[in-house]
Structure 1
Amino acid sequence: MNSEERKSLSAPIPFNKPFVAGKELFYIAQAVTMGNLGGDGHFTQACSRLLEQTFGIQKVLLTPSCTAALEMAAMLCRLEPGDEVIMPSYTFVTTASSFVREGATPVFVDIRSDTLNIDETLIEAAISPRTKAICVVHYAGVACEMDTIMAIAKKHNLLVVEDAAQGVNSSYKGKPLGSIGDLGCYSFHETKNFICGEGGALCINNPRFIETAEIIREKGTNRSRFIRGQVDKYTWVEIGSSYVPSELSSAFLYGQLELMQEISTQRQTIYNNYDCLIRPIADRLGLQLPSIPTECTSNSHMYYLICSDGPQRTKLLSHMRSRGIQAVFHYVPLHSAPASVKRGFNRTSLPKTDNLSERLIRLPMYFDISTSEQEQVVDTMKSFL
């Protein structure tokens, strides 16, 4: 059989595929029989306790999404119109929109060429009298330079929010991501390492935020205190929203979280396999590959390539898709998005963000991708390059 015949018989390879690793479906059935599907039942609480104990976080509140967690974090920052929040532009929209909803202005800072994280050496120059917080994004599950960032925040009396959507079970100098800043946010979207379709969590490391966070999450009521028997009835006490996830989602998630290390080991194997296949030929093909600083432990969330230029990226994506391989680009930088331009948020030149975002490709990566499928991905890429 020649190569073209093999190609025609190859099954399409999706970018992502949801998976069941253990007792997820059993736990969903168990949640139904327990009779509490609305949230904050047995499995929601079990997930929170597991994350608190595993990562040493003072309080974890499960949410319907990471977007919900970021919105809660923004509300807890007590922002006012005109306040500023420093963040990277190379991130998902809700990193910025969560703070914009509160009247704040995102101040975008360029990224590092190696990790694609916010460049910590540029943060201090972006601080103004209106700056209230720094929101860092741990891209691809690789930590930002948190010692420097936390020192800057302390010096200028700023809050630090970690957007650790991609960073569950990654660490910086032994500290789990999401446990370092005042607040941290996780995602359990189906494209992440640990999933429940949609889902997230707010990590609270500064204890002064705990009671208010509980109120915001429960539609602005003190229902959590009522459930604990601390008040004899609950009522509206704060501006909040409905940020409690379904118990069905939490049940599925618990089946994943209790196998966190097994899932992480599998993803590390997949990441290492890509690396072994690609790294020996990267220089010859003009590719930049992921960089993980020695002080960081990655959760192997993604494997990406940075092509030599934008046109090469476009042609390579087209080539791979024509052969059934769903490699994808990632973020369109927020500073150049229509919403930013309309509101005047694009005030600073971000050359590295613009350049790297135009050249990046994410390879298919999911829990049960096979070695042969990875080889097919790389062979297809090599045949073009």
Structure 2
Amino acid sequence: MASEIIPFNRPHVTGGEQANIEQALKSHHLSGDGAFTRRCHQWLEQRTGCAKALLTHSCTSALDLAAILLDLKSGDEVIMPSFTFVSTANAFVLRGAVPVFVDIREDTLNLDERQIEAAITSRTRAIAPVHYAGVACEMDPIGTIAKRHDLRIVEDAAQGIMASYKGTPLGAIGDLGSFSFHETKNIQSGEGGALLVNDPALALRAEIIREKGTDRGRFFRGEVDKYTWQDVGSSLLPSDLTAAFLWAQLEDAGRITSERLAIWDRYHAMLAPLEQRGLLRRPVVPGHCTHNGHLYYVLLPPGTSRGAVLGKLREAEIRAVFHYVPLHSAPAGIRFGRAHGDLQRTTDLSERLIRLPFWIGLQEAQQQRVCETLGAILGR
């Protein structure tokens, strides 16, 4: 009898989404910034302490908005890891800026803060740390460097909702932060994202850019008698139907995070013997970082064929996957960006990383099967 397929991801639904969408339909307000959008904004602001939260179509849109807010010019530079999704770089490239790729840390796979200062030039305008797997970058030294060189910080916290650094929520540490609510994320609405504006001086302009460059928000608050074109902008508002779906998830964010952390902890315990045997390396979470159980990855030993391991897992009906192809080695990365140094750790670690199946509802027996199968493959 064939084994049951263990998929890599199954989007979690709380059960309250449909009722919320029906309520939005009855309200006859389906476009952006309706009642559910306002609830989501309030939740995000209260949870993170940011000056203003703004829902967007995606984390990509949130980063696009952040890049516009920075007033980047052609040739300006933004420092970021190469080990990230393309959106981190695209947002700045679209403004004419140059991504400067810096190597990652061996432990957390996050931007190596010790490499940042040497990558700064007279054209550097910002640093874009990416909190990989919901584990925080070292934001204190990054903040010190940014202050010393008068740089902005844009946190790519796509994977970071409900995680924190020394008690401060991710996304709420830099000048700007971004979340993703894609279906692969802990809190999801199919597609969706949010910009967190932590510098109050940027809040009004962020609202204007998001609303097609108009002061429509001020008009509806009664602050002006009509709204007009004020600035560059785009239509970055998700519908209130998307926000209605998201609201059910945000209301349940505590339980969702607890369940994901339980799954993460089980993997971590089950895989400890394989790490002790030198067959893999488990994730590292520094003690001052509170993660959110976003994903569970393992690093294979040097020289191990990741493709062969993934192929054997697939034969066993286990859908594990790799992650980012480093941007500095991608055709567009070579064309639009530049690498600082040889980025040897980025290349090495990215080629050895495997993400294991992870979703709410994943059973302990299924995790046991994943770990035993992986151990058998690596032990040969």
What range describes the TM-score normalised by the shorter chain of this pair? over 0.9
Shift of 1:58: 1.4
Q: Write the letter of the residue equivalent to 2:134.
A: G
Q: Write the letter of the residue equivalent to 1:131.
A: T
Q: Is the 8 A contact 2:156 2:177 kept in 1?
A: yes
1:93-104 matches, cutoff 5 A: 93-104=86-97
Matched, 1:329 2:312: no
Give the Cα separation in 1 of the matches to 2:335 and 2:175.
31
The corresponding residue for 2:259 is: 266
CA RMSD of aligned residues (A): 1.1
Give the Cα separation in 1 of the matches to 2:218 and 2:303.
54
Shift of 1:48: 0.7
1:242-281 matches, cutoff 5 A: 242-281=235-274
Shift of 1:299: 0.4
Q: Write the letter of the residue equivalent to 2:301.
A: S
Residues 209-251 of structure 1: per-residue CA shift (max 9 Å, x gap) = 1111011101111111111111111111111111001111111
Shift of 1:372: 1.5
Q: Is the 8 A contact 1:63 1:202 kept in 2?
A: yes
Decide which of 189, 195, 199 is 1:206's aligned counterpart: 199
Can you give the 5+ residue segments of structure 1 that lack an aligned partner in the other structure?
none
1:18-167 matches, cutoff 5 A: 18-167=11-160
Shift of 1:285: 4.4
Q: Write the letter of the residue equivalent to 1:322.
A: E
Shift of 1:309: 2.9
The corresponding residue for 1:220 is: 213
Q: Is the 8 A contact 1:309 1:358 kept in 2?
A: no
Residues 147-204 of structure 1: per-residue CA shift (max 9 Å, x gap) = 0000110111100010000000100000000110000000010000000000000000
Q: Is the 8 A contact 1:328 1:362 kept in 2?
A: yes
Shift of 1:345: 2.5
Give the Cα separation in 2 of the matches to 1:295 and 1:218.
38
Give the TM-score normalised by structure 1: 0.96
Give the Cα separation in 1 of the matches to 2:152 and 2:267.
38
Q: Write the letter of the residue equivalent to 1:97.
A: N
Q: Is the 8 A contact 2:260 2:294 kept in 1?
A: yes
Give the Cα separation in 1 of the matches to 2:144 and 2:262.
35
SS where residue 212 of structure 2 aligns? coil
Shift of 1:344: 5.5
SS where residue 137 of structure 1 aligns? coil
Give the Cα separation in 1 of the matches to 2:140 and 2:340.
28
The corresponding residue for 1:316 is: 309
Identity of aligned residues (%): 55
Shift of 1:283: 2.8
Q: Write the letter of the residue equivalent to 1:143.
A: A
Give the Cα separation in 2 of the matches to 1:164 and 1:202.
10
SS where residue 380 of structure 1 aligns? helix
Q: Write the letter of the residue equivalent to 1:128.
A: T
Q: Write the letter of the residue equivalent to 2:71.
A: R
Give the Cα separation in 1 of the matches to 2:99 and 2:217.
32
Give the Cα separation in 2 of the matches to 1:366 and 1:73.
30
State which drifts further: 316-325 or 166-175: 316-325
Q: Is the 8 A contact 2:93 2:336 kept in 1?
A: no
Give the TM-score normalised by structure 2: 0.97
Can you give the 5+ residue segments of structure 2 that lack an aligned partner in the other structure?
none
State which drifts further: 282-291 or 252-261: 282-291
Shift of 1:93: 0.1
Give the Cα separation in 1 of the matches to 2:267 and 2:341.
36
Give the Cα separation in 2 of the matches to 1:28 and 1:277.
40
Give the Cα separation in 2 of the matches to 1:238 and 1:276.
53
